[in-house]
Structure 1
Amino acid sequence: MKRLVELLIMPPMSLYLGVLCGLCIRFVANRLPEPRPMLRRMGTSLAALSGAVLVALSIPQVAFWLLDSLQTSPAISPTAESIDAEAILVLSGDVDCDPPEFGPDQPGPISLQRCRYAARLSTRTGVPILISGGVLRPDRRAVSLVLRDFVQDELHVPVRWTEERSHTTRENARYSAEILARDGIRRVAVVTHAWHMPRAIEVCKAAGLVVLPAPTAPATPPANLRDAFVPRARSFRDSAWAIHEWIGRLWYRISA
């Protein structure tokens, strides 16, 4: 049910439904025995507004504004040789299932960025890594195990802990805190994307952790005016991530 609700309220599905509903309202209004201009205008406005938002979300400058509204934590200096943390907590992201060129599951693009930065941060500071992420599908390994193998086998950086039960960011924090508590650890450097960091900080603090934000891959503004306002599919994806984060933060506060 949760997945269905998320599908319906997130773009693009919610906007497609808005266009469809608007057209249906207009169609019904045109076929009523008596003219209903207000109902017809309502349908037209709903369809037009939904379509306009679809276009707006694909504009790079709009996508940047949405993501940048979430990027409130500065990056750790790339020359820092020590950090005020006892562990590096990596929040897992996506996974590529059974890629034909690799065979076993591999980290997806989002997970790759987080793993790469965590590995570099750990190598530079000597702080050990915990990767958090549970099973996405019953026939798959936990995401944290897929990421652990990548970090250790390809980046050649050890991973001290893995958390394999979580399915949400809130559970990432809760179960990771339990693992770290066994070693008396509370201070963590949280590695995730810059636009995901606000929600990550909130849940980690709620789980009793002392957080040092370690954001990676921040969104950057378009390079020029042409790039800023020419619609792109990638920009729509970026806008959807930002909207997902804002809705996620609101839901976590309501359901806390």
Structure 2
Amino acid sequence: MSLYKIPLLLASYGGTYISLTPPNPPIPQNTKAKGVSSRERVFSAVVRRYNGLLKVLYFLYAWLIVGLNDRRPGQMVLSSGALLEVAVILARQWPSHPISQKILTALIRGPASLADRIELSPMFFAGCTVSTICTLIRYRCYRELGRLFTYEMSIQSEHKLVTQGPYSVVRHPSYPTVIACVVGLGMCYAAKGSWVRECGVMDTTSGRAVAGLATMLWAYGSWNAIARTSDEDALLKAKFGTQWDEWAKRVPYKLIPFIY
């Protein structure tokens, strides 16, 4: 049954990678927004590195197992969490193959039979669904804004107010979708039947430390993204005036329809 998990794993983790990857390069210093809060200046300066670190923490789990395994001291392999879980699933299907034996030895802290616990679960389905849907919406935001979608607050040359697509539902749709997308990935990792939960990753001090750090980074990014919406509204209102007022009247919610 765990074989059916493979395409869902790749969709969920791949989608989260897309959501955390800037669609455009950094903007020139002279185009960054002026007069923003010190909090926003710091966040704009570190957001690309922050997203890169968050991707590393969510996708590079092998070192928690390989190198900590007493039978292979010092060995270190870096790969995505998706590919590692897929590798364990496939290796357990053909356990007698020499490559499978190496994979199971390296990626499981305990007997190879722990891999039999990897399975689909309602929580995994929910997390996969959340991350996939949110990735699709965020990617649509990339497409609607085009070159205007930057990780730094800015008003660019020939800037225009985008009000179609997801921006006709809430004014800042890319923020709740990336926040929820990472939550969905976390649900996949935490779900009963996941490689992280069933094969010893979270039984290590390092595993728990990385999970805690990733959670703190997610909280920091989420708080700053939500706080940034007020700065962006003020910047766009100053630039577009009555055009922004009319849009805000049609789309009164910042992040979540009918709620906020």
TM-score, reference length from structure 2? 0.24
Which structure has more relative contact order (CA 8 Å, sep 6+)? It is 2
TM-score, reference length from structure 1? 0.24
Q: Structure 1 or 2: larger strand share?
A: 1
